[in-house]
Amino acid sequence: MKIAVLDDFLGVVPTLDAWRMLDGHSVTVFRDPLTDVDELGSRLGEFEALVLSRERTKITASLLDRLPNLRIVSQTGVIPHIDVPACTQRGVLVCTSRTGPSYTTAELTWGLILASMRHIPQEAVALRAGRWQTRFGRGLRGQTLGVFGFGWIGSLVASYGRAFDMRVLVWGRAGSLGRAREAGYEVATDQRSFFATSDIVTLHLRMLPETDGIVTAADLAAMKSDALFVNTSRAALVEPGALLAALRAGRPGHAALDVYDAEPVIGAHDPLVSMDNVVCSPHVGYVTRDRFETMFGSAFEQVLAFDRGAPVNVVNRELLVG
């Protein structure tokens, strides 16, 4: 098969052990992201299979019309960027799987929390410039950690909070609240009080139509002036423009981010990355070799299973009927 692997920003996919799974196939890796439909169509028109990295490239009906040879789109994780009905109409199989909890994202969440609470990036810059101890930090013990979403990652983050001897408060949909209660965690009475009570709020929600903009400007305004807002999930979980406005208004006082409205953020074009009260990383929550091996290994296996005539993890299963 002719296979395209998209948006390998780091250029590391061919170095993975999983890469050997594609021996015998014609595989092209693209590092630079494209958003223009005509350019994408020109680039990808010859390929039978696309392997995607997260939600970096949108698969729309307009793009599909430019891909006459496409037979399968494969990736892991959620697929809000793929027009599944359009794929089905054109006979293109969509395959995705969940590959277990992302320990790496949970770990990065805590890296950002510690970096922000203790001002580690700022102090490192000051030390390099010849200065010594420029600001107070804040400890974690006894602080209230608000975990919004108690799925795989949220439950991990909550358990790490316990290890830091923090009060852990959970909010989310009914499923999250039920799982949190069963695990012995305190559950907030409502969303507004959750934001108002927490010293740190961290988001761990899937990006779905019902979670788009679920964090509102009013929620952020309810936070304490010294509180920290953390997002390692998806930027669109927050009402557009609300976080920037809230930080400028001083509630919350700080943020730590791994996700942005428009990625990649090149040339620091997002104003959030230039704010002194925001600690930023370039969407690296899942960017570790072990996580990439798991993700791309699963995505490659889906392509190979399709090539063998026994597709797995199919989203639009109606194409398999008959």
Query: With contact defined as beta carbons under 8 Å apart, do 41 and 4 qualify?
Result: no
* 107 part of the active site: no
CATH 3.40.50.720: which residues of the chain? 2-100+288-320, 103-280
Could you give the angle at which helices 174-182 and 152-163 cross, rounded to 10 degrees?
Answer: 40
The answer to whether residue 78 scores a pLDDT higher than 90 is no
Architecture of domain 103-280: 3-Layer(aba) Sandwich (3.40)
Catalytic residue among 43, 71, 119, 234: 234
b/e map 225-252, b = 16+ CB within 10 Å: eebbbbbbbbbbbbbeebbbebbeeebb
Average pLDDT over residues 142-160: 97
How many angstroms separate the CA atoms of 61 and 56, rounded? 16
- pLDDT of amino acid 54: 82
Identified catalytic residue from 46, 123, 263, 293: 263
Write the pLDDT tens digit of every residue in 259-311: 999 988 989 899 999 999 999 999 999 899 999 999 999 999 999 999 999 99
pLDDT tens for each residue of 2-49? 999 999 999 999 999 999 999 999 999 999 989 899 999 999 999 999
55, two tokens:
């939600």
CA 11 from chain center: how many Å?
19
Other CB atoms within 10 A of residue 111 CB: 18
pLDDT for 130: 97
| Known catalytic membership, residue 283 | yes
Classify 2-100+288-320 by CATH class.
alpha beta
Question: Does residue 81 carry a catalytic annotation?
Answer: no
Which residue is associated with the tokens 């399709």? 306
pLDDT band, residue 56 (cuts 50/70/90): confident
Residue of 119, 204, 254, 283 with catalytic role: 283
Q: What local confidence, expressed as pLDDT, does residue 322 receive?
A: 57
CA 287 – CA 302 distance, rounded (Å): 21
**pLDDT band for position 77 (50/70/90)?**
confident
Q: What local confidence, expressed as pLDDT, does residue 99 receive?
A: 77
With left for phi above 0 and alpha for psi between -120 and 50, is residue 130 left, alpha or beta?
left
Tokens of 158: 């909550």
Helix, strand or coil for residue 148?
strand
Instruction: Please write the tens of the pLDDT for every residue from 166-225.
Output: 999 999 999 999 999 999 999 999 999 999 999 999 999 988 889 999 999 999 999 999
